[in-house]
Amino acid sequence: MDALKARIRRDGRHLGHGILKVDGFLNHQIDPALMNECGRELARRFAPARVTKVLTAEISGIAPALSTAQHIGVPVVYARKDRPITMPDQVLLTVAPSHTKGRTVELIVSPEYLAAGERVLIVDDFLATGQTILGLARLATAAGATVIGIGVVIEKAFEGGRAALLPLGVPIEALAIITEMRGEQITLA
């Protein structure tokens, strides 16, 4: 996606230690027009997969997941990091390391909204090490759902996430792939 790549080149900042700051359009302030185009493109790429639900992680994955789900015409469910009192006592829960938070986080989904027989597309803002997405896949599997694909806005190819996800045996689509970040230089595939 040329518009996304241009935005990364213009506004993305490498903060060191593999952290890419894209707060101005994806993670804190969201560019709705750009997210709409990202969602449209992910929906197009997964159109033949008969998706019934989009699954993501709180909070940064919600914008691209919502846009994708809207274009497909299915609900989006996000894994929460804290269990609210409105959630049932028995939940689907796993843990995953968070690169940006520097700690392990819980991923929690109510079984009311993720069930057996669902055809789940996992959508997230980043694919780095793949650990959050693997956690989401564990939640879908625990629910009896089938993961049919993974879509991400930005992949940091140098962190090995794609290789970690290959055992899932599903298509992986990234709208922009970063091959290297060194100093202030961000190299896109």
132 annotated as belonging to a binding site for a ligand: yes
Instruction: State which fold the 2-188 domain adopts.
Output: Rossmann fold (3.40.50)
Helices (H), 46-186: 62-72, 131-143, 161-165
Is 149 part of any known ligand binding site?
A: no
Measured in whole angstroms, the distance separating CA 95 from the mean position of its chain's CA atoms is: 16
Is residue 131 annotated as involved in ligand binding?
yes
Tell me if 107 sits within 8 A of 97, measured CB to CB: no
pLDDT band at 85 (very low <50, low <70, confident <90, very high): confident
Q: Is 129 labelled as part of a ligand binding site?
A: yes
Q: Is the pLDDT of residue 28 over 90?
A: yes
Q: pLDDT tens digits, residue range 94-109?
A: 999 877 677 899 999 9
DSSP bridge partners of 106? 95
Mean pLDDT (whole number) for 28-56? 97
pLDDT of the residue at 160: 96
The residues, any chain, with a CB within 8 Å of residue 141's CB and separated by 6 or more, are: 147
Q: 166 CB contacts (<8 Å, ≥6 apart)?
A: none
36 is in an annotated binding site: no
Q: Nearest-CA neighbor of 55 among 32, 74, 27?
A: 74
- Predicted pLDDT at 101: 72
Rounded to whole angstroms, how far apart are CA atoms 145 and 139?
Answer: 9
**Mean pLDDT along residues 120-145:** 97
Predicted local confidence at residue 102, as pLDDT: 75
Residue 139 exposure: Cα atoms within 13 Å on the Cβ side: 32
pLDDT class for 89, splitting at 50, 70, 90?
Answer: confident
Boundaries of every domain in the chain: 2-188
